[in-house]
Structure 1
């Protein structure tokens, strides 16, 4: 049986800050379950037809935490291995008139409770899809000041809304303060890449992660590692996707050359052949560059074989 520590939803906040009192202290490698609350959504449903007026964006994207990780120093990377994300038996979706890229198509308010049962998300009685739970907002405390849980995201924390931040993945963050001070929240039962409407199938529930540290890793931005791909993240001001794209590619180029040992020429050609670019969430311009790990594994295997022959 896996031993874990628990941070209850009572320890929620709407910002990442360096002076926050830790909810827990853990050693690298320990497992923590973060619980999130359905109360913000329940308040909207309780408001009835007046729910739009009840929306307070400052109080809509809570995270649970923070957790202090022993041994973490600025300049290290905190690793967050996502073991499990379990939604409650319902989620929700909403449209506020004038909000989001479909505002010309959806001009009336919508607030719908979404049942979650039998491993599926029921968008209506006839339309369902598999539950694909993920974490929308997570990260570490800044070195100074505060970071919003809504927008914009920063290199150390934020509302990234990345479909890839799901069970089986590990996300790395550059630590800014001792202990890192990690928090997470904004769970989703399902979401398309880019969160096109700025709303997913939002839900409450629990996320279980293993927290670790990679000492003195030269990490400037978050990085997502899945069994199939490595993702580097680029951030820029709202709508400046050209800058975010360049930023993501710069991070990937550094990873391929500094950490995987490719020459600049080989990294460039690999970009041309195999690197994909995708959108992250809408809280800023968020772009992901990714490379399939099987390509790099094949290179490593060939290199080892040639080394033995030599």
Structure 2
């Protein structure tokens, strides 16, 4: 199995970086990634120092997929995500989005949480189930170089909890090879990523990629054994929700034969929403597969 170590930390989804790994469609490979704090927080006494490392959410990559061309899609199946150092870190140093109600005096709140036997030890009294996911995964656009802070049609900092083991993230290809990047692994995260920090950890992810020719996707998708999901990012969130629903309806019509207005009616009753980091308006809308043949 090919393995990609952490190496250089990238804070952009760029087609200009030298590829670090080339994989064949269907090949299983592993990728190590640093945590969202760029490795600066390893003990309760550590603090994030942006004068030394100003960026957040460093990525490992780029990964080139043989045969990928603009207009194709990379269907990235996540087989597993495991912690590299047996712990994760979180912090609550910025409550600007809630300050008008809670006040501006939020403590820094760094603490380290051991991970063992499928549990995250958030405190001596409280454990959280280990439910890993990748906060960031994306391909390089053909124009511009987005940072690892927002999300967009290329993927990026989506922070959607369904980017998880056993699921497939489908990303548009904009440049030859795709130039896939990933990182920002979380041991667990609540919907909305309230404090802008999940339970951040350096991680090893085992992946494989199916190359889908000529898909011409407008935005990322997630496929699970139980559901399908479309993802859109942007403010106001109401617009992202509407757009994600429209993309899901068109997908149901094109691939599953559900007429769009029947899908529109059906989703009104059975759809669910997943929220990424809420200030940037990333949402996923999803429908159980059992409804995909409701003609």
The TM-score with structure 2 as length reference comes to 0.92
The CA deviation at 1:57 is: 7.0
Q: Which residue of 2 aligns with 1:133?
A: 132
Instruction: Tell me the distance in 1 between the aligned counterparts of 2:99 and 2:134.
Output: 23
- 1:94 maps to 91
CA distance in 1, matches of 2:245, 2:260: 13
1:115 alignment partner in structure 2 = 114
**More helix, by proportion:** 1
Secondary structure in structure 2 of the residue aligned to 1:168: coil
Partner residue, 1:64:
60
Structure 1 residues 154 and 58, CA, compared in 2 at 3 Å: closer, same or farther?
Answer: farther
1:248 to 244, 247, 261: 244
Q: Write the distance in 2 (CA, Å) between the matches of 1:19 and 1:283.
A: 29
Query: How many residues are treated as equivalent by the alignment?
Result: 292
1:157 CA displacement: 2.7
Aligned to 1:286: 282
- In the other structure, the counterpart of 2:153 is 155
Is the 1:100–1:198 contact (alpha carbons within 8 Å) kept by the matching residues of 2? no
Q: Quick one: distance in 2 between partners of 1:253 and 1:42?
A: 41
Any unmatched runs of 5+ in structure 2? none
Q: CA deviation at 1:53?
A: 5.1
Shift of 1:32: 1.8
Query: Larger radius of gyration, structure 1 or 2?
Result: 1
The answer for the alignment partner of 1:194 in structure 2 is 192
Secondary structure of the 1:267 match is helix
Counterpart CA distance in 2 for 1:174 and 1:38 is: 25
> Does structure 2 retain, via aligned residues, the 8 Å contact 1:147–1:157?
no
SS at match of 1:202: coil
- Structure 1 runs not aligned, ≥5 long: 304-310
Deviation of the 1:17 alpha carbon: 0.7
Q: Is the 8 A contact 1:141 1:157 kept in 2?
A: no
Alpha-carbon contact 1:32-1:211 (below 8 Å) kept: no
Distance, in Å, in 1 between the alignment partners of 2:94 and 2:267 is 41
Equivalent-residue separation in structure 2 for 1:225 and 1:129 (angstroms): 25
Q: Is the 8 A contact 2:244 2:283 kept in 1?
A: yes
Q: Over aligned residues, Cα RMSD in angstroms?
A: 2.2
1:268 equivalenced with 2:264 (yes/no): yes
Does the 8 Å CA contact 1:101/1:197 hold for their aligned counterparts?
A: no
